[in-house]
A and B are shown apart, each in its own frame.
Chain A
Amino acid sequence: MTKKSKNPLRVLGLVFLTALLAIPYAVQSDYLFHLFILICVFGSLATAWNIVGGFAGQLSLGHAVFYGIGSYSAALLLARYGLSPWIGMLAGMLASAVVAVLVSWPTLRLRGPFFALASIAILEVIRLLVLHESDWTGGSSGVSLPLDIGLQWMVFREKGYSFALAYLFLCVTLLAAHGIRRSRFGFSLFAVREREDAARAVGIDVVRVRIAAAVASAMLASMIGTYYAVYLTYIDPDTTFSLALSIQMAMFALIGGLGTVLGPLVGAAVVMPVAELTRAWLGSYGNGLHGTIYGIILVAAVVLAPRGIVGSLQQWMDRRSATGPSSAGSAGSIGPDGGTSGRNGQEGMGGQRGGIPVLRAAGLRKSFGGLAATRDVSIELMRGEILGVIGPNGAGKTTLFNQLSGYIAPDEGTVQVLAGDGTWRKPRTACEFARCGVGRTFQIAQPFSGLSVLENVMLGAFMHTDDPVRARASAREILAVTDLAPHADKEARSLTIGGLKRLEIARALATRPSVLLLDEVMAGLNPADIDRAVALIRRVRDAGVSVLLIEHQMQATMALCDRIVVLDLGAVLTCGAPADVVRDERVVEAYLGKGFSHAESA
């Protein structure tokens, strides 16, 4: 996803948008205006849907709820109180935002089909309530809107003006989607969609990000709902709060390209005319035909081109630029030392080692059912030290690790972190831990695989800046330090295992942690990669970061660590300098059994 490969697509996009505006005015036919209004309306709806369905990866099949709220707010305020639809539009957007928050709470944990089912159920509930509360909604007979002409009523004698308004709303929606996609918020959404755990490790508040996406999407859909209700001059519950409409929004987005900015509109612009023209030609005789065409196109798109039109185009461009000569894109890389010293200066605590703890865990207990995974574990990590945690399989290392980073809440005991301002904090969630300066990696690397290596690290950098340019710059520095600079623009999933482990570290470093928790970053590496990792961890420590690592790779651990904590059966067995620990009889026993220590001493 280099800048170079993006540009032709951007030009193409602008040409497309201009054509969308120019064609109907050039032809001046009422039917064409109508068709293009439909494209704008459905393109906007699909774009709004895409913020939740594409960016955040939550497949909603109930998005007509927000469209319907927008339609009904404006229609009722206009028909009952004579208020301008512009006021109704605002009211509808506010109401939609509130509903989006309310609806998000119960459905946040749900994935895939379950989220889709819940969204359908919510749509049905609201539709039935609107039908039932006929006293103020008009029930199944719907609401007819009075025809007052003028901009303040959104109604015009000339179709050209209506179209201009539709195009304006389309632009607003597209700009919103574009802004989100480019911003830190957009990156966070992608991160949450791809790997929730890793997203929390870079300080993303998963719940808040999801709700924000739902609210943005709902408000946009609601805005379009108002416009279209006024354009149609009549609404009823069955066509506004409709499952078919919700499916259409999702379908256009899929056909155009899920998660792309322009895709949903392109999808609508390609499919809509085909279906509408067949409907117009065949009239009532073809009842159901345009639906059939929609359905077949949808199935075909899923099976043949799941990336959609824009997505496939992007992929094709990427491939072409990847084979081109000037693809490396490492022009702006910075010397290997620039990165660390920069971070070092900001933290202002390099060098002085020992004495002061930066992370304190006291009396941690955690049981899973009858199994006590940690039983009263207390450890301290000192400033500037490398502390190793070792122990046989099942000793509770990973459970401890997850408690130290907020992924598991301890049943008893506390974890305290010395924050940047010198106060002790007690973070609770993984995201709070990350924000207090605890960075972590995952034993099984969790790259955001659809993003580039650089973008992965940018996600970490976004914890300290809103500005993508700055995040990109500091991510480049980190890549240089972690020997990943040559791979910056590759997709993360193309890295080797050694590269993935370094990417884990790089992403954690980008959050500028004061404490770095490393979960088996050397497991499965070849000797050369292990040497690299050891050197990297030393450099990280020398830059002022305290490191706690879990490792099975004993040789490297012994060489790296200042102190070692040995866990066995969920409790601390011993703690001390590496040389003392390996000679401890209890440690040998825990690893190899009683017989071995006897045999050796005999």
Chain B
Amino acid sequence: MDIFIQLLINGILLGGAYAGLSVGLTLIFGVVRIVNFAHGEFLMIGMYATYLLVTQAGLNVYQSMLPVALLLFALGFGMQKLILQPIMNADPHMQIFATVGVSFTLMNVALLVFGANVVSTPNSVNAEPWSLAGLSILPGQVATLCVSLLGALALRIFLHRTFMGRALLAISQNRSAAALMGINIRFAYALAFGLGAACVGLVSATLTTQYPVFPTVGSYFVLVCFVVVVLGGLGSIAGSIAGAMIIGIVDSLAGFYVSTGLKEVVYFAIFILILAIRPAGLFGKDKGV
């Protein structure tokens, strides 16, 4: 039983990381209607940026959160403005190709600049696991979970309480009607893309306490994020948090009870099943077809 509770806690903490990454992905899809295949590379860049800020500028991991988030906001904003906006009305396949192309480019640029080596960010913050009633909890993971949830909460408040946020919601419900109401769609798209990337920025900084960074680190995470986001219903923030928790727990339990090598198989199988049976996700309203 103890081991089960420990696994459950591990799963939720892992889910915390997935949640922060997936919220950004789902926001971008909800507003811009693009599945951002370069999302994992945003994470990779965020982690390298944190690594540089910690080693070169002497900040600690949590102090680098804000600058990294700003950097990624700029990256996302620019990507939408420069690459995706010109092809917004093209065949949807072109948008997939574009984000895949950006992903491929960024990954290889990182390989060029940093090499294939795995680098760990030196951690100046206390990383000793807490022991609590026989359970062991890593403070870094708790921090990631908190950052993810607070980020999602802030995003929710922004979306529901501010004019610009409501404009984004309006666009996600009906593009043309929103445009008729005088919302600047182009700016809103870029803003949504930037915010989605900034969410990744916040989480990527905290993730450097748990994971080393290497050029393809994003591919691993992004696939899980796709699963999470589809599970929760693309475009739904609450859904993606729920999806992240489910996948975190499945990951943790399947890793123990099935096999470490097959845990991904378990949730990819869930993913394919969800796509086949209920493409709108467990909590989504839109059709995935």
Residues of A within 8 A of B (CB): 53, 57, 59, 61, 105-107, 109-114, 116-118, 120-122, 124-125, 128-129, 131-132, 243-244, 247, 250-251, 254, 258, 286-292, 294-296, 298-299, 301-303, 306
Q: List 29 A-B contacts (CB under 8 A).
A: A107-B272, A110-B288, A110-B289, A111-B289, A113-B96, A116-B96, A117-B230, A118-B275, A120-B226, A121-B227, A121-B268, A121-B271, A128-B261, A128-B264, A129-B265, A247-B100, A250-B100, A251-B97, A288-B110, A295-B102, A295-B105, A295-B108, A296-B105, A298-B97, A299-B101, A302-B97, A302-B101, A306-B87, A306-B91
- Closest chain B residue to A134 by CB distance? B261
Tell whether, in the assembled complex, residue A106 and residue B272 are in contact, meaning their CB atoms are under 8 Å apart: yes
B11 at interface by CB-CB < 8 Å: no
Q: Which residues from chain B contact A132 at a C-beta distance below 8 Å?
A: 259, 261-262, 265
Tell whether, in the assembled complex, residue A109 and residue B112 are in contact, meaning their CB atoms are under 8 Å apart: no
Q: Tell me the total A-B contact number using a CB cutoff of 8 A.
A: 151
CA distance A535 to B268 in the complex (A): 58
Q: Which residues from chain A contact B102 at a C-beta distance below 8 Å?
A: 295, 299
Q: Which residues from chain A contact B268 at a C-beta distance below 8 Å?
A: 121-122, 124-125, 128
Q: Which residues from chain B contact A286 at a C-beta distance below 8 Å?
A: 112
Tell whether, in the assembled complex, residue A128 and residue B262 are in contact, meaning their CB atoms are under 8 Å apart: yes
Q: Given A244-B104, A292-B112, A302-B87, does the pair A106, B261 have CB atoms closer than 8 Å?
A: no
Taking CB atoms and an 8 Å cut-off, the chain B residues in 83-118 that contact chain A are 83, 86-87, 90-94, 96-98, 100-112, 115-116
The prevalent SS among residues of B at the interface is: helix
- Closest chain A residue to B111 by CB distance? A288
**Residue of B219, B230, B273 touching A106 (CB-CB under 8 A):** B273
Q: Which residues from chain B contact A289 at a C-beta distance below 8 Å?
A: 108, 112
Q: Which residues from chain B contact A59 at a C-beta distance below 8 Å?
A: 93, 96-97
B179 at interface by CB-CB < 8 Å: no
In the assembled complex, the CB of A238 is this many whole angstroms from the nearest CB of chain B, namely 11
**Residue of A57, A243, A298 touching B219 (CB-CB under 8 A):** A243
CA distance A53 to B92 in the complex (A): 13
Q: Which residues from chain B contact A250 at a C-beta distance below 8 Å?
A: 97, 100
Q: Given A112-B96, A121-B268, A124-B264, does the pair A303, B87 have CB atoms closer than 8 Å?
A: yes
Tell whether, in the assembled complex, residue B262 and residue A288 are in contact, meaning their CB atoms are under 8 Å apart: no
In the assembled complex, the CB of A155 is this many whole angstroms from the nearest CB of chain B, namely 31
Tell whether, in the assembled complex, residue A292 and residue B86 are in contact, meaning their CB atoms are under 8 Å apart: no
CA distance A116 to B272 in the complex (A): 11
For the complex with contacts A120-B226, A125-B265, A125-B272, 10 further pairs of A-B residues with Cβ separation under 8 Å are: A109-B289, A118-B272, A121-B275, A122-B268, A122-B272, A254-B97, A289-B112, A291-B107, A295-B104, A298-B104
Q: Which residues from chain A contact B223 at a C-beta distance below 8 Å?
A: 120-121, 124
Tell whether, in the assembled complex, residue B93 and residue A57 are in contact, meaning their CB atoms are under 8 Å apart: yes
CA distance A124 to B221 in the complex (A): 13
In the assembled complex, the CB of B265 is this many whole angstroms from the nearest CB of chain A, namely 5
Taking CB atoms and an 8 Å cut-off, the chain B residues in 134-167 that contact chain A are none
CA distance A402 to B108 in the complex (A): 52
CA distance A584 to B275 in the complex (A): 52
B180 at interface by CB-CB < 8 Å: no
Q: Which residues from chain A contact B98 at a C-beta distance below 8 Å?
A: 299, 302-303
CA distance A57 to B289 in the complex (A): 14
CA distance A291 to B286 in the complex (A): 36
- Closest chain A residue to B91 by CB distance? A306
Q: Given A292-B109, A299-B101, does the pair A117, B83 have CB atoms closer than 8 Å?
A: no
Tell whether, in the assembled complex, residue B108 and residue A288 are in contact, meaning their CB atoms are under 8 Å apart: yes
B246 at interface by CB-CB < 8 Å: no
In the assembled complex, the CB of B104 is this many whole angstroms from the nearest CB of chain A, namely 4
Tell whether, in the assembled complex, residue A107 and residue B275 are in contact, meaning their CB atoms are under 8 Å apart: yes
B16 at interface by CB-CB < 8 Å: no
Tell whether, in the assembled complex, residue B261 and residue A109 are in contact, meaning their CB atoms are under 8 Å apart: no
- Closest chain B residue to A288 by CB distance? B111
- Closest chain A residue to B262 by CB distance? A132
Q: Which residues from chain A contact B226 at a C-beta distance below 8 Å?
A: 117, 120-121
CA distance A303 to B105 in the complex (A): 15
**Residue of B83, B90, B289 touching A306 (CB-CB under 8 A):** B90
- Closest chain B residue to A131 by CB distance? B261
Q: Which residues from chain A contact B230 at a C-beta distance below 8 Å?
A: 114, 117
B276 at interface by CB-CB < 8 Å: yes
B215 at interface by CB-CB < 8 Å: yes
Q: Which residues from chain B contact A120 at a C-beta distance below 8 Å?
A: 223, 226
Q: Which residues from chain A contact B83 at a C-beta distance below 8 Å?
A: 299, 303
Q: Which residues from chain B contact A292 at a C-beta distance below 8 Å?
A: 105, 108-109, 112
